[in-house]
Amino acid sequence: MNTKNISIESGEENFDKSFNPIKKFQKPYIFKSLFQVLFCLVSLISCYIAIYIGILHHLYWVFFLSPVATGLAIRTFTLQHDCGHGSLFRSPWANNFIGGGIEEPLVDVPWF
């Protein structure tokens, strides 16, 4: 079964429409995107609050929360980065609003 056509003139590979395993992942879904953003932000803020309380009371479990907070911060940056490319939401307004809203408090770099 031939799953792709090769155009020699243009040098590009064109996949048949019947064979595209990632097609279902190419469209943004609002509920998945909002869940990802809200879950990540709530978890990150909760982790930061727990670390702050642990530092105030000299608790050593703060050292175990630091890698978790780092992972959540990286995930938050990834979501912001996807908004910058316009791929997290269908609406450019939503991408700019969420991307700028995530980015401004966490990273001191202008969004626009």
Rounded mean pLDDT for each run of 10 residues along the chain, 112 residues in total: 50 56 77 92 94 91 92 91 89 88 69 58
User: What is the pLDDT, as a whole number, of residue 77?
Assistant: 87
The reply to whether 62 falls in a domain is yes
The reply to whether 89 falls in a domain is yes
Q: HSE (CB half, 13 Å, CA atoms) of 5?
A: 7
The reply to whether 75 falls in a domain is yes
User: What is the pLDDT, as a whole number, of residue 5?
Assistant: 52
User: What is the pLDDT, as a whole number, of residue 59?
Assistant: 87
User: What is the pLDDT, as a whole number, of residue 103?
Assistant: 72
Q: Is 12 helix (H, G, I), strand (E, B) or coil?
A: coil
Structural domain count of the chain: 1
User: What is the pLDDT, as a whole number, of residue 64?
Assistant: 93
Residue indicated by tokens 């479990």: 61
Segments forming the whole domain that contains residue 83: 26-106
The reply to whether 34 falls in a domain is yes
User: What is the pLDDT, as a whole number, of residue 14?
Assistant: 57
The reply to whether 55 falls in a domain is yes
The reply to whether 7 falls in a domain is no
The reply to whether 112 falls in a domain is no
The reply to whether 94 falls in a domain is yes
Distance of CA 64 to the CA centre of its chain: 24
Indicate left, alpha or beta for 99 from its phi (over 0: left) and psi (-120 to 50: alpha): alpha
DSSP state of 6: E
